[in-house]
Amino acid sequence: MGATHLKCRECATEYALEASFVCNRCFGPLEVAYDHTGLGDDPAATRRRIQAGPQNIWRYADFLPLAAPPAPSQRVGSILGLPAGCTPLLKADRLAERLGLGEVWVKNDAHNPTHSFKDRVVAVAAARARELGFDTLACASTGNLANAVAAAGAALGMDSYVFIPSNLEEQKILATGIYGTNLVKIRGNYDDVNRLCLELSGEHESWAFVNVNMRPYYAEGSKTLAYEISEQLGFRTPDRIVSPIASGSLFTKIGKGFREWLDLGLIEGDVPIMSGAQATGCSPVATAFGEGRNVCKPVKPDTIAKSLAIGNPADGPYAIDLANQTGGTIDAVTDDEIREGIKLLAETTGVFTETAGGVTTATLKKLADRGEIAKDERVVLVITGDGLKTLDAVRGSFESYEIDADVASFNTTVPTPTEVTA
Amino acid sequence: MSVTVKLPTQLRDAAAGNAAVSVEGTTVGEALEALFAEHGELRERLFQDGELRRFVNVFVAGEDVRYLDGLETAVPAGGELTILPAVAGG
């Protein structure tokens, strides 16, 4: 494999490719380091090999921290597990027009096995967990990860323990428990769940906590969003990415994915301008960015965007660095703007997203209204999850007609455009 | 006043293998100073320029001290102080 070791992002101490996530010296997060020698020698050949790969993230196996891709490279079928990725990139002309922008695309990651981008990170973490000999998966989750881990456990025949805040959306709880996982609802917020899981991971060393001890591998899965977007644009980078920020991991790994492929000469362009999106009710990263700091002061979340409700975001500083390096932005939007964002995306693109996508869409609108986005920019909006997961957010947001089953009732109740007869 | 400091697995090698250490102190800062007096190597692991390192979280009764008064946060007698690495999630 191309991965060579784990490396501390703070002090550069190196570690073996095992289930560890934090530097023993300085507590900095560990990240996977690679030797990609050879992959950039003949970019056209590497691109061809990628294009001939399976229709899922394993087409990017050379860039993921696995000893071997977990299943034979079938194009569409799967021998093992739930293949994630290769989700649609949709040109969103009506959304662009509504916002007065030139070119907008929607990366619809709701098109994953459990309807969020978390299937990407879980696929990588679970595959690496199997390689390292773990038999149990676990996670601390704000909901989407819970769905993905429970489903992956079922698909791979592994036991799983899923820890969530007890006040999560009912849809996310139901779409987790059905997979037969050990579902543990914590009386507390996500940061409480995370703290408990950290303590438990020290006590259960045979468990692969995908976002604790497997975190370096897990996080790499998010890079595949950058690979896919560039491949779908003809091996070019877009000019700007608008992506949600919770812990900051997805946002920074999208940047890393573009950087890796640019360094190898696989794609043309530059690292896109990175625009981050948070909810006002949980915006420690946007606040620190706005104040010109890169240390995030923890907050107590209070927002309908529960999947983004991480009050103490560990990758926040890196997200801020990336936004600054690329001339980007990090904004926060209110719950009302989030609801309007969900509606705007649905009405103009046919994509129904959960609250996190409402945050992203509302942030795009905010940037457009502020004149931040140049007319010639190619913008990609990263939609991370499905609207069916957060139905309460849209309840009462539209009107419908209830009529008797006869034409007269229809004609008197439902307004229609005047018919033109030839 | 005695306070229990719970250590994560990553720090136990620097504390003679202990998962918890009992120290004297009435604030987080005092308790940590007492901890460093016993296990000197921990200071550099947890502190940078006299402050908690960016990725070190300290909890008193389940609450991150960054929400409270930082190193000045009071710790009740017989209380518990938990040190954990910061880890993102989602």
Question: Residue A312 and residue B84: Cβ atoms within 8 Å?
Answer: no
Instruction: Indicate whether A121 and A96 sit together in one domain.
Output: no
| pLDDT at A414 > cutoff 90 | yes
> How many separate domains does chain A show?
2
Instruction: Indicate whether A42 and A96 sit together in one domain.
Output: no
Give the confidence band of B86 by pLDDT, cuts at 50, 70, 90.
confident
Report the pLDDT value the prediction gives residue A372, as an integer from 0 to 100: 97
Query: Is A405 part of any domain?
Result: no
For range A372-396, the mean pLDDT: 97
Strand partners, A207: A136
Give the confidence band of A297 by pLDDT, cuts at 50, 70, 90.
confident
Report the pLDDT value the prediction gives residue B88, as an integer from 0 to 100: 62
For range A224-232, the mean pLDDT: 98
Instruction: Indicate whether A47 and A7 sit together in one domain.
Output: yes
Say yes or no: A313 contacts chain B, CB-CB below 8 A: yes
| Interacting residues of A111 by C-beta distance below 8 A, sequence separation 6+ | A87, A88
Question: All domains of chain B, ordered by start, with CATH?
Answer: 2-85 (3.10.20.30)
Query: Which of these ranges, A114-123, A146-155, A312-321, B80-89, has the smallest mean pLDDT?
Result: B80-89
For range A384-412, the mean pLDDT: 96
The full 3-state SS of chain A, as one line of letters, equals CCEEEEEECCCCCEECCCCCCECCCCCCEEEEEECCCCCCCCHHHHHHHHHCCCCCHHHHHHHCCCCCCCCCCCCCCCCCCCCCCCCCEEECHHHHHHHCCCEEEEEECCCCCCCECHHHHHHHHHHHHHHCCCCEEEEECCCHHHHHHHHHHHHHCCEEEEEEECCCCHHHHHHHHCCCCEEEEECCCHHHHHHHHHHHHHHCCCEEECCCCCHHHHHHCCHHHHHHHHHHCCCECCCEEEEECCCCHHHHHHHHHHHHHHHCCCCECCCCEEEEEEECCECHHHHHHHCCCCCCCCCCCCCCCHHHCCCCCCCHHHHHHHHHHCCCEEEEECHHHHHHHHHHHHHHHCCCECHHHHHHHHHHHHHHHCCCCCCCCEEEEEECEEHHHCHHHHCCCCCCCCCCCCHHHHHHHCCCCCCCCC
Question: Residue B45 and residue A211: Cβ atoms within 8 Å?
Answer: no
For range A70-93, the mean pLDDT: 82
- The minimum CA-CA distance between A327 and chain B, rounded to whole Å, is 24
Query: Is A296 part of any domain?
Result: yes
Question: Residue A27 and residue B53: Cβ atoms within 8 Å?
Answer: yes
Instruction: Indicate whether A208 and A329 sit together in one domain.
Output: no
Rounded-to-integer distance, Cα A337 and Cα A72, Å: 45
Report the pLDDT value the prediction gives residue A422, as an integer from 0 to 100: 57
Query: Is A406 part of any domain?
Result: no
| pLDDT at A421 > cutoff 70 | no
How many beta-carbon pairs under 8 angstroms link A with B? Answer: 101
Give the confidence band of A260 by pLDDT, cuts at 50, 70, 90.
very high
Give the confidence band of A316 by pLDDT, cuts at 50, 70, 90.
very high
- Count of CB atoms situated within 10 Å of the CB of A222: 26
- Option in A10, A202, A298 nearest B9 (CB): A202
Question: Residue B88 and residue A298: Cβ atoms within 8 Å?
Answer: no
Q: What is the pTM of this model?
A: 0.93
3-state class percentages of chain B: helix first, strand second, coil last, to nearest 5: 30, 30, 40
Question: Residue A21 and residue B57: Cβ atoms within 8 Å?
Answer: no
Tokens representing A302 are 């209070």
As a whole-number percent, the residues of chain A with pLDDT over 70 amount to 97
Say yes or no: A409 contacts chain B, CB-CB below 8 A: no
Say yes or no: A304 contacts chain B, CB-CB below 8 A: no
Instruction: Indicate whether A69 and A139 sit together in one domain.
Output: yes
Give the confidence band of A420 by pLDDT, cuts at 50, 70, 90.
low
- The minimum CA-CA distance between B6 and chain A, rounded to whole Å, is 10
Query: Is A422 part of any domain?
Result: no
Report the pLDDT value the prediction gives residue A332, as an integer from 0 to 100: 98
State the ipTM, two decimals. Answer: 0.83
Instruction: Indicate whether A157 and A101 sit together in one domain.
Output: no
Report the pLDDT value the prediction gives residue B89, as an integer from 0 to 100: 59
| pLDDT at A280 > cutoff 70 | yes
Instruction: Indicate whether A336 and A276 sit together in one domain.
Output: yes
| pLDDT at A73 > cutoff 70 | no
Instruction: Pick the more confident residue, A192 or A233.
Output: A233
> In terms of C-beta density within 10 A (0-12 exposed, 13-18 middle, 19 or more buried), how is residue B79 classed?
middle
| pLDDT at A72 > cutoff 80 | no
Query: Is A34 part of any domain?
Result: yes
Query: Is A319 part of any domain?
Result: yes
Chain A residues in contact with B8 by the CB 8 A cut-off are 198, 202
Question: Residue B54 and residue A24: Cβ atoms within 8 Å?
Answer: no
Give the confidence band of A79 by pLDDT, cuts at 50, 70, 90.
confident
Question: Residue A29 and residue B87: Cβ atoms within 8 Å?
Answer: yes
- The minimum CA-CA distance between B81 and chain A, rounded to whole Å, is 13
Question: Residue B90 and residue A142: Cβ atoms within 8 Å?
Answer: yes
The residue from A176, A192, A218 where one domain ends is A218
Say yes or no: A144 contacts chain B, CB-CB below 8 A: yes
Query: Is A83 part of any domain?
Result: no
Question: Residue A27 and residue B64: Cβ atoms within 8 Å?
Answer: no
| pLDDT at A384 > cutoff 90 | yes
Q: Which residue has the tokens 């000019």?
A: A239
Instruction: Indicate whether A93 and A125 sit together in one domain.
Output: no
Query: Which of these ranges, A219-228, A306-315, A400-409, has the smallest mean pLDDT?
Result: A306-315
Q: Are B31 and B23 in contact (CB under 8 A)?
A: yes
Chain A residues in contact with B52 by the CB 8 A cut-off are none
For range A155-182, the mean pLDDT: 96
Rounded-to-integer distance, Cα B90 and Cα B81, Å: 25
Minimal Cα distance from A247: which residue of B? B88
A420: left (phi over 0), alpha (psi -120 to 50) or beta: beta
- Tell which A residues from 328 to 367 touch B, by Cβ distance under 8 Å: none
Say yes or no: A213 contacts chain B, CB-CB below 8 A: no
**Residue A187, phi then psi, degrees to nearest 5:** -75, 90
CATH of the domain at A105: 3.40.50.1100
Say yes or no: B50 contacts chain A, CB-CB below 8 A: no
Chain A residues in contact with B65 by the CB 8 A cut-off are none
Query: Is A158 part of any domain?
Result: yes
Range of the domain at A46: 3-78+117-218
Q: What are the pLDDT digits (tens) for A11-69? A: 999 999 999 999 988 888 999 999 998 899 999 999 999 999 999 999 999 999 999 87
Question: Residue A211 and residue B53: Cβ atoms within 8 Å?
Answer: no
Q: What are the pLDDT digits (tens) for B42-65? A: 999 999 988 898 889 999 988 889
A409: left (phi over 0), alpha (psi -120 to 50) or beta: alpha
For range A353-360, the mean pLDDT: 98
- The minimum CA-CA distance between B44 and chain A, rounded to whole Å, is 8
| pLDDT at A261 > cutoff 60 | yes
Instruction: Indicate whether A132 and A184 sit together in one domain.
Output: yes
Q: Which residue has the tokens 């309908």?
A: A304
